[in-house]
Amino acid sequence: MHLTLLFADQCSAASATTALELLTAANLFAGEPVFDVVTASLDGKPVRTLRGQTLQPEAALADITHTDLVLIPGFLFTLREALPGFGRYSAWLRQRHAQGAVLATMCTATFLLAETGLLAGTRATTHWAFADLFRKRYPDVRMDERETLCEDNRLITSGGATAAMDLLLHLIRRHGSLELAQKCSRYLLIDNARSEQSVYVMWSMPKSHGDADILRVQNWLEEHYDQPLSIDELAPRFGFGVRNFMRRFKEATGYTPLSYLQTLRIEKAKHLLEGTRMSLDSITFKVGYEDSNSFRRLFQQRVGLLPAAYRKKFQPQTA
């Protein structure tokens, strides 16, 4: 199949070269060219990446009038600088999609695809750290940053930088075979079982909203998250009616008060799991819950791992 690897200005050199090497490996392991890869830039000229490296394409986009799959490397540290130029690729991408091509993005290249308008009304994912920016810029796209991969209407988006491996193996499995993807996974030591990126998320409390009254509530919650709290009691403590409080809090933070409190407690628990040897019962009580079984289920629902598995994954191992 014909695959166009799009070199956009300021794209990640690591994403581009990882794609080239893994697709080349798939062809070698298959013993035949499963992927006919052509690299292309907007005008056929070299593009500059984060550290000033240059990527030399083989063609200009105008030279490619038909392709089966377009793969777009991400922009992890250059996204804000690259964003203003994304519209230049939209017409070509829409034309290829209309012809039946699959469009696939690595990491924050979801933003470039969203500029085409093709993602409107569909599910998509991107690097979790840029999900809020994505929602503000493209409110008609159903962003779900918990997912490693989303696919809808021949549009495939992937999560953070290392999720590129998951995307590439997905493409190899679909357009090559399951056996070929498994062979690439084994030889290149790639984990082939991830489905979510929520386990890697570091929550940044939304405080730049400009609502001073809600900010006071947030600051108070940070000091008292471990205490038994009722939202119905919290509202009058700060001079709100309950319905007004719920509305104001959601408008300011993007969370309901209960969801915000749960997320705050989960983050505190993650720090304790990573940095202490406290038992789960002790951590449960420390962050304001009484039933460790209920907390275990909530933790798995929010993070994607049970607390014990999270500790094993992220706590430094002692000799």
Whether 149 and 261 map to the same domain: the answer is: no
Query: Is residue 246 included in any domain, yes or no?
Result: yes
Q: 78-86: which pairs have CB atoms within 8 A and are 24 or more residues apart?
A: 78/10, 78/11, 78/12, 78/49, 78/50, 79/108, 79/111, 79/130, 81/10, 82/8, 82/9, 82/10, 82/11, 82/112, 83/111, 85/8, 85/9, 86/8, 86/111, 86/112, 86/115
Whether 123 and 166 map to the same domain: the answer is: yes
Q: Count CB neighbours of 57 within 10 A.
A: 22
According to DSSP, the residues that pair with 72 across neighbouring strands are: 105
The enclosing domain of 48 has a CATH number of 3.40.50.880
Query: Is residue 67 included in any domain, yes or no?
Result: yes
Query: Is residue 107 included in any domain, yes or no?
Result: yes
Whether 22 and 75 map to the same domain: the answer is: yes
Helix (H) or strand (E) holding 142: strand 142-143
Whether 29 and 168 map to the same domain: the answer is: yes
Residue 192: what pLDDT? Answer: 53
- On whether the CB atoms of residues 197 and 160 are closer than 8 A, the answer is yes
Residue 153: what pLDDT? Answer: 82
DSSP 3-state of 37:
strand
Residue 203: what pLDDT? Answer: 62
Residue 236: what pLDDT? Answer: 93
- On whether the CB atoms of residues 262 and 302 are closer than 8 A, the answer is yes
Residue 304: what pLDDT? Answer: 77
Whether 73 and 160 map to the same domain: the answer is: yes
The C-alpha atoms of residue 240 and residue 47 are separated, in whole angstroms, by 54
Q: Of 179, 200, 221, which residue is a domain's last?
A: 200
Query: Is residue 205 included in any domain, yes or no?
Result: no
- Give the angle 194-199-200 at the CA atoms, nearest 5°: 100
Residue 193: what pLDDT? Answer: 47
Cα 45 to chain centroid distance, Å, stands at 30
- On whether the CB atoms of residues 146 and 165 are closer than 8 A, the answer is no
Dump pLDDT digits (tens) for 182-231.
Answer: 888 877 767 554 545 555 455 667 777 889 999 999 999 988 988 888 88
Query: How many domains does the chain fold into?
Result: 2
The C-alpha atoms of residue 108 and residue 160 are separated, in whole angstroms, by 8
Whether 192 and 247 map to the same domain: the answer is: no
Query: Is residue 173 included in any domain, yes or no?
Result: yes
Separation in Å, CA 124 to CA 67, 141, 147? 22, 7, 8
The enclosing domain of 270 has a CATH number of 1.10.10.60
Whether 192 and 271 map to the same domain: the answer is: no
Whether 75 and 162 map to the same domain: the answer is: yes
Domain range for 145 is 2-200
Regions of the chain short of the pLDDT cut 50? 193, 195, 200, 318-319
Whether 219 and 163 map to the same domain: the answer is: no
Q: Of 140, 170, 200, which residue is a domain's last?
A: 200
DSSP annotation of 316 reads P
**Residue found under tokens 């993650």:** 270
Tell me the residue length of the chain: 319
Q: pTM score, two decimals?
A: 0.65
Query: Is residue 235 included in any domain, yes or no?
Result: yes
Whether 196 and 270 map to the same domain: the answer is: no
Residue 263: what pLDDT? Answer: 87
- On whether the CB atoms of residues 4 and 153 are closer than 8 A, the answer is no
Residue 149: what pLDDT? Answer: 84
Q: Count CB neighbours of 236 within 10 A.
A: 11
For 251, residues 6+ apart whose C-beta sits below 8 A from its C-beta are 209, 211
Whether 192 and 54 map to the same domain: the answer is: yes
Query: Is residue 309 included in any domain, yes or no?
Result: yes
The C-alpha atoms of residue 68 and residue 80 are separated, in whole angstroms, by 29
Residue 173: what pLDDT? Answer: 83
Query: Is residue 178 included in any domain, yes or no?
Result: yes
Whether 182 and 232 map to the same domain: the answer is: no
